[in-house]
């Protein structure tokens, strides 16, 4: 069997979701072939075929433009209209993309790869099942939810209600949880071993994460914590933000600050930490919940990530702390109350479906006819 995952590297969550489901699929059947393609780069017309670079620039310099566009087009009719207007510009390449690998199933893990893929499959002359794996927790854009998808996996009940309001058939929408990589499950199983392996055996650990691209002026939060001399080890994951990594490495801090670039063991770090300071990306929020960490969100992308802030606050598993100046006092309050952290840990884990990726893997495999297996 060959399964084609369509993503775009606009942020790290879409690829991470695809990789998590791929790992689950391989655990079911190692012979399954998984192909992951950045469909925006390979099939969209200019300038959308430079979506990763445009997205990263926009998130740093023009978020208000993105926020305005998000809300202006966030409705089922408007979303379909947007896709249909763009369809002639990408029709040929999208059909080629869907047919090239001769997949037995196509899975979208990106909101802009739903309506276009439905049309590409319909016009290709080859019937292929199509599924969508939604990675936005609450306030996902309407472009995620196309009524012609064969199956839609969503992370929360709120996302399911959103899909139904956008016209999707209820029987085609399943709450599976946010796709978590199986290695996250393994890491959380032994917190003390993770701490020993990482060398975090003495001080409490504040894990600061800015997503795959190190967004949201993460450095200002690190400096604020260090200057306040919080009694903890501050561990910073800068992602692909190499400038931030170099700047922090060159700084002499009055407390222990451990600086990393892009890492492949974030699940282990989450399992070993005591507190998470993060941008409001869905992957970071859910991995933090799975590790049972109090979550302090310092920034979010307008539109799709605002719901994550509300989710954390309404569930009582953390706070929204946009000002670096307010962060040290908030951190000290959480670190100084072990009883509160224990309560939060239980509430946070209740928000997560540990076998989410396996549920998604089994769901999409169920779409493939027996003759193709």
| Same domain, yes or no: 97 and 67 | yes
Per-residue pLDDT of the chain (373 residues; tens, 9 = 90+): 999 999 999 988 899 999 999 999 999 999 999 999 999 999 998 899 999 999 888 888 888 888 999 999 999 999 999 999 999 999 999 999 998 999 999 999 999 999 999 999 999 988 999 999 999 999 999 999 999 999 999 999 999 999 999 999 999 999 999 999 888 877 776 788 899 999 999 899 999 998 766 667 899 999 999 999 999 999 999 988 899 999 999 999 999 999 999 998 998 999 999 999 999 999 999 999 999 999 999 999 999 999 999 999 999 999 999 999 999 999 999 999 988 888 999 999 999 999 999 999 999 999 998 777 6
Task: Give the model confidence (pLDDT) of 143-201 as tens digits.
Answer: 999 999 999 999 999 999 999 999 999 999 999 999 998 888 777 767 888 999 999 99
Domain total in the chain: 2
| Same domain, yes or no: 198 and 332 | yes
| Same domain, yes or no: 86 and 110 | yes
| Same domain, yes or no: 176 and 56 | yes
| Same domain, yes or no: 27 and 130 | yes
| Same domain, yes or no: 340 and 262 | yes
pLDDT of residue 269: 95
| Same domain, yes or no: 249 and 281 | yes
Q: What is the three-state SS of the chain?
A: CEEEEEECCCCCHHHHHHHHHHHHHHHHCCCCEEEEEEHHHHHCCCCHHHHHHHHHHHHHHCHHHHHHHHHHCCCHHHHHHHHHHHHHHHHHHHHHHHHHCCCCEEEECCHHHCHHHHHHHHCCCCCCCEEEECCCCCCCCHHHCCCCCCEEEECCHHHHHHHHHCCCCHHHEEECCCCCCHHHHHHHCCHHHHHHHHCCCCCCEEEEECCCCCCCCHHHHHHHHHHCCCCCEEEEECCCCHHHHHHHHCCCCCCCEEEECCCCCHHHHHHHCCEEEEECCHHHHHHHHHCCCCEEEEECCCCCCHHHHHHHHHCCCEEECCCHHHHHHHHHHHHCCHHHHHHHHHHHHHCCCCCHHHHHHHHHHCCCCHHHC
| Same domain, yes or no: 227 and 258 | yes
pLDDT of residue 214: 60
| Same domain, yes or no: 223 and 313 | yes
| Same domain, yes or no: 160 and 102 | yes
pLDDT of residue 212: 65
Domain limits at 62?
A: 2-180+354-372
| Same domain, yes or no: 216 and 359 | no
- Domain harbouring 32, CATH code: 3.40.50.2000
| Same domain, yes or no: 230 and 303 | yes
């Amino acid at each position: 069997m060959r399964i084609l995952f369509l993503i775009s590297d606009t942020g790290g969550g879409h690829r991470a979701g695809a990789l998590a489901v791929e790992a689950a699929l391989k655990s079911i059947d190692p012979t399954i072939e998984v192909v992951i393609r950045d469909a925006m780069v390979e099939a969209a017309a200019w300038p959308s075929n430079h979506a990763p670079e445009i997205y990263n620039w926009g998130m740093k310099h023009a978020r208000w433009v993105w926020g305005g566009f998000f809300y202006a087009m966030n409705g089922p009719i408007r979303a379909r209209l947007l896709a249909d207007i763009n369809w002639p510009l990408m029709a040929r390449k999208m059909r080629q993309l869907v047919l090239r690998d001769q997949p037995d199933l196509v899975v979208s893990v990106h909101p802009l790869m739903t309506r276009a893929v439905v049309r590409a499959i319909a016009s290709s002359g080859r019937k292929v099942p199509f599924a969508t794996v939604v990675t936005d927790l609450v306030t996902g854009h309407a472009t995620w939810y196309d009524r012609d998808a064969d199956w839609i996996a969503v992370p929360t009940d709120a996302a399911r209600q959103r899909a139904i309001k956008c016209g999707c058939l209820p029987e085609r929408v399943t709450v599976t949880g946010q796709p978590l990589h199986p290695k996250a499950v393994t890491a959380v199983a032994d917190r003390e071993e993770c701490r020993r392996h990482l060398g975090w055996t003495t001080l409490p650990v504040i894990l600061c994460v800015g997503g795959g691209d190190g967004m949201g002026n993460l450095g200002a939060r690190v400096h604020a914590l260090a200057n306040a001399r919080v009694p903890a080890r501050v561990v910073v994951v800068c992602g692909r933000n190499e400038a931030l990594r170099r700047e922090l490495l060159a700084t002499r801090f009055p407390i222990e600050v451990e600086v990393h670039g892009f890492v492949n063991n974030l699940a282990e770090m989450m399992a070993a930490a005591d507190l998470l300071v993060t941008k409001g990306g869905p992957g970071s929020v859910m991995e933090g919940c799975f590790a049972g960490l109090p979550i302090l969100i310092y920034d979010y992308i307008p539109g799709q990530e605002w719901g994550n802030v509300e989710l954390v606050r309404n569930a009582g598993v953390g706070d929204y702390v946009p000002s670096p100046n307010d962060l040290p006092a908030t951190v000290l309050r959480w670190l100084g109350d072990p009883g509160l952290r224990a309560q939060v840990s239980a509430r946070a884990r209740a928000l997560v479906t540990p076998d989410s990726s396996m549920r998604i893997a089994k769901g999409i495999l169920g779409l493939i006819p027996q003759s193709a297996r």
